[in-house]
Amino acid sequence: MRYIILSFSALLLLLSLILFLQGRQGHPLPNHLSKIEKWITPNNRVKVVSTTAIIDSIVEQIGGERIDHISLIEESMDPHSYELVKGDSEKLSFAQIIFCNGLNLEHGASLRYQLQHHPNTFALGDIIQKKIPEKILFNQNQPDPHIWLDASLWAEVVDPIVQALIMADPEGKSYYETQGEKVKNSIVNLDKTIRDQLKMIPSEKKHLVTSHSAFNYFTRRYLTETLDEAINDQWQSRCSSPEGLAPDGQLSCFDIQCVVNYIFQYKVKTIFPESNVSQDSLRKIQSICLEKGFLIEISKNMLHSDTLGSFSQTYQEMLANNANILYQTWIS
């Protein structure tokens, strides 16, 4: 009899523990719900939309369990010309906070309209431009939006993200500040690692040809040899691409010929495709060079300019992967 009473008490204790844990954690969501359905389900978390996966990666690392986050523009899609598709307006309207890149990256008319009319849109690149305007590059009076490819610049987005999350969730202030500090340190450390890594490449090999002009900030930060080269626009001789700041522009014979001339001038052996851009222009360049008896290779490893890519879970992995591809190609 005593044994039965003890067993019954143990069962009650176990049931109490399960109920206590369920009360703490809330009811788990069914597994069949999509990422969007989970994101839109009301809870106490801050609902955040970022336009690109690159921004979303930093927001996720800072916000952790206190936020529900999604990126609007799916992998492999071009953020420059992205126009809203079915369901996007609802996501943007439901978001408490929207983070976008600004600097004219998101120039699709329908997306730009929504970004301009949401009460809590934070254009991170525009905020950086106000803080350190001398660091922003321009091409034909257009700001170059690809600031994430210079980690020392991208570290500057951490503080505005932390401030925006605190505004929406003041109770999380110390959490966001602690996370923000960690994320900033990891980006600053990555910046130093890439600088050290690419310093090992001989100067004459550091000439980067890609599909579109996404790597200007990267070139200025990581491929230059002297401070003079970085601040006096001499870095421009270290990169070339047939397509402009946005890969949706018209490609001209003149642009193709400029890159061919660049390849001959600097004896470039390998050119680099990008994961979200067609390789047509690079193939054209390769065939013109071949006609002139100059064999160049299109790298089998694609760089990631505007997207994280399928191999990278985080912004830091994406940038480190880009640097590794260049290092391995140029060191051999």
Binding positions for Zn ion, rule: CB under 5 A: 214, 306
- Amino acid identity, position 70: I
Between 126 and 306, name the residue whose CB sits nearer to Zn ion. Answer: 306
How many Å apart are CA 70 and CA 51, to the nearest integer?
9
Burial pattern 221-245, b for ≥16 Cβ within 10 A else e, equals bbbbeeeebbeeeebeebbbbbbbb
Q: Which is nearer to Zn ion, 70 or 214 (CB)?
A: 214
Residue 255 or residue 306: which is nearer to Zn ion going by CB? 306
Decide whether 286 or 307 has the Cβ nearer to Zn ion.
Answer: 307
Q: Do residues 129 and 157 touch, judged by C-beta distance below 8 A?
A: no
Shortest separation between residue 213's beta carbon and Zn ion, angstroms: 8
Nearest distance, CB of residue 128 and Zn ion, angstroms:
17
Is the Cβ of residue 45 or residue 146 nearer to Zn ion in the bound state?
146
Give the nearest distance from C-beta 27 to Zn ion in angstroms: 42
CB of 145 to Zn ion, least distance (A): 7
Angle in degrees, 0-180, between the axes of helices 280-291 and 253-266, rounded to the nearest 10:
60
Give the nearer residue to Zn ion in terms of CB position, either 214 or 308: 214
- C-beta of 180: minimal distance to Zn ion in Å? 26
- Smallest gap from Cβ 249 to Zn ion, in A, equals 11
Q: Which is nearer to Zn ion, 80 or 184 (CB)?
A: 80
Minimum distance from CB of 243 to Zn ion (Å)?
Answer: 9
Query: Is beta strand 97-100 parallel, antiparallel or unpaired with respect to 270-271?
Result: unpaired
Q: Are 276 and 307 in contact (CB under 8 A)?
A: yes
What minimum distance in Å lies between the beta carbon of 305 and Zn ion? 5
Q: Please identify, using beta-carbon distances, which residue of 60 and 306 lies nearer to Zn ion.
A: 306
